[in-house]
Structure 1
């Protein structure tokens, strides 16, 4: 059985290294087209259960790779590294997810994409996450946020500080891999509210901010605008047609280092 990896919405990159195989090769085990499921607004627990079902089927070669396109009703989810001080102060319930990382929020106006993908061997978790990140950077820049990039030590897509705002995350990544199949995925803030983040320590990061494409571009950016470009970018990144580049503009501390796992 392939080793289990649980990496949360704050997946932390290790020091840069060459991937296990060339960047222009596909990281997927299959050459068949990825099947797209546009599911609309789906309860988080329901989507999580569905992912687990598909991941098992994919591990058993009963289905091809999938991309699930969803939005979630407002919900907090806590990864394995969530600390008591991270928890919401507004009394809303929290789902304890089987991913790594700390706490985050999902809700309407945030585009969430779950790739259920069987990875080629040797499995390179870091390369897989970097490819997802590259796809998100491409999408955010295509939408018009041209200076979006990486903060070394913290995952996701970040917008540099400007106009009195601190460095702010606009897109997040979180995965789990078991039996060689990836699940969970990516989330891009489009026109969602940021209010719910004010009641938690998002991803355990207290010294940075969060933003949306609508806020950055000063217009309403819907999730629908990003669906097709995101599907294409993810497909290209996994296939090696969109290769990982250096988009880092800063570095910061690892917010999960040496933290105990939630019981």
Structure 2
């Protein structure tokens, strides 16, 4: 079974977050019922902050900007123009742990940004896709992940910063992490990277990794916090909340 990707909401067709959330719920119900195959939505949103269940009050926008509280794991993040957002609605095989699903999504993003010329990876203790600390700055996040799994089917997903305005991130504590930065593919490569270009890079890797074949994961960049297991922003299964 091949993952079907629907991507009709870029630029002027950017999809409102609440509308996308409702569409996810509809597709989730259909996937649980076996009425559709695994599907992923690729899109852009108009500017919006969304907060997972673990978001602390002090992590919300400092200027009182409205926030949509959502039923995923993880903390607060931003979605907006210049950012590829992906929502896989996929039924997890019985042998696949939720952690493995998250790692596969991360791996797809790591391989995609490598194809575009950016070396990235995982940081132990932190979810998402990161660039290592270097002369240009500290560890910086280029992609975030936050999911929900109910009745064995996933919702929510990832966001990859192609050319998003980073000023939006100055108003809150991204993903609850105050000691690291946020970046974009455009900033790292010194050229404009569009959302459709980023989507084209992610598509084959996500399809490949969600076919559930064995794979070799990329190595971690470094350990953020020694002695702590990787954080997995998951909501919906007992004992697996991020």
SS at match of 1:36: strand
Partner of 1:139: 112
Partner of 2:79: 106
Partner Cα separation in structure 2 for residue 143 and residue 132 of structure 1: 17
Partner Cα separation in structure 1 for residue 6 and residue 189 of structure 2: 28
State yes or no: 1:116 paired with 2:85. Answer: no
Relative to the length of structure 1, the TM-score reads: 0.82
The 1:179–1:63 alpha-carbon spacing in structure 2 relative to 1, beyond 3 Å, is same
Partner of 1:37: 6
Structure 2: runs of 5+ lacking an equivalent: 233-242
- Is the Cα–Cα contact under 8 Å of residues 81 and 256 in structure 1 kept in the other structure? no
Partner of 2:22: 49
Partner Cα separation in structure 1 for residue 118 and residue 95 of structure 2: 35
Partner Cα separation in structure 1 for residue 113 and residue 78 of structure 2: 20
- Which of the pair has the greater relative contact order for Cα pairs under 8 Å at 6+ separation? 1
The 1:123–1:242 alpha-carbon spacing in structure 2 relative to 1, beyond 3 Å, is closer
Partner Cα separation in structure 2 for residue 229 and residue 210 of structure 1: 20
Equivalent residue for 2:221, pick from 236, 249, 254: 249
Equivalent residue for 2:132, pick from 160, 163, 167: 160
Partner Cα separation in structure 1 for residue 100 and residue 231 of structure 2: 20
- Is the Cα–Cα contact under 8 Å of residues 191 and 214 in structure 1 kept in the other structure? yes
State yes or no: 1:216 paired with 2:188. Answer: yes
- Is the Cα–Cα contact under 8 Å of residues 73 and 108 in structure 1 kept in the other structure? yes
SS at match of 1:192: coil
Partner Cα separation in structure 1 for residue 51 and residue 127 of structure 2: 17
TM-aligned CA deviation for residue 256 of structure 1: 7.6
Deviates more, 1:217-226 or 1:236-245: 236-245
Partner Cα separation in structure 2 for residue 137 and residue 35 of structure 1: 20
Relative to the length of structure 2, the TM-score reads: 0.88
Count of residue pairs brought into register by the alignment: 225
The 1:133–1:256 alpha-carbon spacing in structure 2 relative to 1, beyond 3 Å, is closer
Equivalent residue for 2:173, pick from 201, 204, 224: 201
TM-aligned CA deviation for residue 163 of structure 1: 2.6
Partner Cα separation in structure 1 for residue 17 and residue 104 of structure 2: 24
Partner of 1:13: none
Partner Cα separation in structure 1 for residue 16 and residue 216 of structure 2: 33
Partner Cα separation in structure 2 for residue 137 and residue 166 of structure 1: 18
